[in-house]
């Protein structure tokens, strides 16, 4: 799977993919991430990528031409399954959407900035607008990094233990159960006996019960969704 990211701040995206799981995914040839500076596609002495909003108001708008040039240059080299614009007014990224996106081959990510991009870019090129939550970031780069991380780890073969994504929080509309490692007792705090029992059936049952209880208390919205899907 390949991500191309168009951004006015490519430096911000230098490190996030070069560690741990995503680094290994790239070394294994399962994932490619290419970051492209939008300013490279801007013309004129100042390589201007933003301008004042027609109609007035505070904040700059990202100009059409450099983005169009960037997208069209990339589209000449390959066709994209999705052109995603990161923006607080997009659809909320969740595990179901991450699962869907992990099945794509090529994704082009356009990072929003300032007051956003000229609407004509959204009309002409963007196939999906994604937000990572109900708060405002100063730019779409961190949102793009979140998306690449959440999607990239789901590509088959990326996780060491192929089954481990199956037990993630949200994968089943449930939060993950508590986990423990050695020592079995620390400052008088004990690991639940059942986890030391060696009985996999009991342990699975305990984990499911913990997941259900944790989800019911912390995320009643998810709990309702889970119950509806498991009648
Ligand atoms: Cl995708 N962009 C920005 N600027 N802020 C956000 C966001 C995206 N998702 C949540 N907040």
What is the residue whose two structure tokens read 């201007």?
48
Say whether both 86 and 7 belong to one domain: yes
Sign of the dihedral defined by the CA atoms of residues 208, 214, 220, 221, in that order = negative
Say whether both 224 and 135 belong to one domain: no
Instruction: Please give the distance, rounded to the nearest whole angstrom, from the Cα atom of residue 173 to the centre of ligand 1.
Output: 23
DSSP 194: G
Report whether residue 136 contacts ligand 1, using a CB cutoff of 6 Å: yes
Q: What values do phi and psi take at 38, rounded to 5?
A: -65, -30
Residue after which a domain boundary falls, among 126, 152, 178: 152
What is the span of the domain harbouring residue 191?
169-229
Say whether both 39 and 96 belong to one domain: yes
- 56 pLDDT more than 70: yes
Q: What is the pLDDT of residues 203-231, one digit of tens each?
A: 999 999 999 999 999 999 999 999 998 87
- 28 pLDDT more than 80: yes
- 69 pLDDT more than 80: yes
Say whether both 140 and 205 belong to one domain: no
- 160 occurs within a structural domain: no
DSSP 168: S
- 36 occurs within a structural domain: yes
Pairing relationship of beta strands 60-62 and 189-190 according to DSSP bridges: unpaired
- 112 pLDDT more than 60: yes
Contact predicate 79/118, CB 8 Å: no
Say whether both 135 and 200 belong to one domain: no
Contact predicate 86/109, CB 8 Å: yes
Number of domains in the chain: 2
The percent of residues above 90 in pLDDT, for the chain, comes to 91
DSSP 21: H
Instruction: Please give the distance, rounded to the nearest whole angstrom, from the Cα atom of residue 130 to the centre of ligand 1.
Output: 8
Candidates 136, 138, 146, 147: which one to mutate for ligand 1, based on the most atoms within 8 Å of Cβ?
A: 136
Mean pLDDT, range 78-95, rounded to an integer: 97
Say whether both 92 and 29 belong to one domain: yes
Report whether residue 112 contacts ligand 1, using a CB cutoff of 6 Å: yes
> Which pLDDT score, from 0 to 100, does residue 163 have?
55
- 162 pLDDT more than 60: no
The two three-digit tokens of residue 168, written as one number? 């993630």
Instruction: Please give the distance, rounded to the nearest whole angstrom, from the Cα atom of residue 13 to the centre of ligand 1.
Output: 15
Candidates 110, 112, 145, 150: which one to mutate for ligand 1, based on the most atoms within 8 Å of Cβ?
A: 112
- 151 pLDDT more than 80: yes
């Amino acid at each position: 799977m390949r991500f191309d990211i168009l951004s006015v701040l490519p430096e911000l995206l230098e490190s996030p993919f070069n560690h741990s799981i995503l680094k290994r995914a790239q070394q294994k040839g399962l994932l490619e991430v290419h970051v492209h500076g939008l300013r490279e596609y801007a013309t004129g002495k100042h390589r201007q990528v933003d301008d004042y909003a027609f109609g007035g108001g505070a904040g700059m708008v990202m100009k059409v031409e450099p983005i169009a040039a960037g997208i069209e240059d990339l589209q000449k080299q390959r066709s994209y399954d999705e052109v995603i614009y990161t923006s607080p007014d997009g659809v909320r990224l969740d595990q179901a959407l991450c699962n869907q996106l992990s099945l794509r081959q090529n994704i082009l990510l356009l990072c929003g900035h300032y007051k956003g991009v000229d609407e004509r870019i959204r009309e002409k090129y963007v196939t999906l607008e994604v937000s990572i939550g109900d708060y405002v970031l100063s730019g779409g780069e961190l949102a793009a990094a979140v998306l690449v991380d959440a999607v990239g780890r789901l590509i088959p073969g990326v996780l060491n233990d192929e089954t481990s994504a199956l037990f993630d929080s949200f994968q089943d509309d449930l939060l993950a159960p508590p986990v423990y490692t050695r020592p079995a007792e620390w400052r008088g705090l004990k690991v639940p006996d059942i986890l030391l029992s060696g009985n996999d059936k009991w342990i699975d049952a305990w984990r499911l019960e913990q997941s259900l209880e944790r989800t019911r208390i912390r995320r009643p919205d998810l709990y309702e969704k889970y119950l509806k899907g498991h009648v």
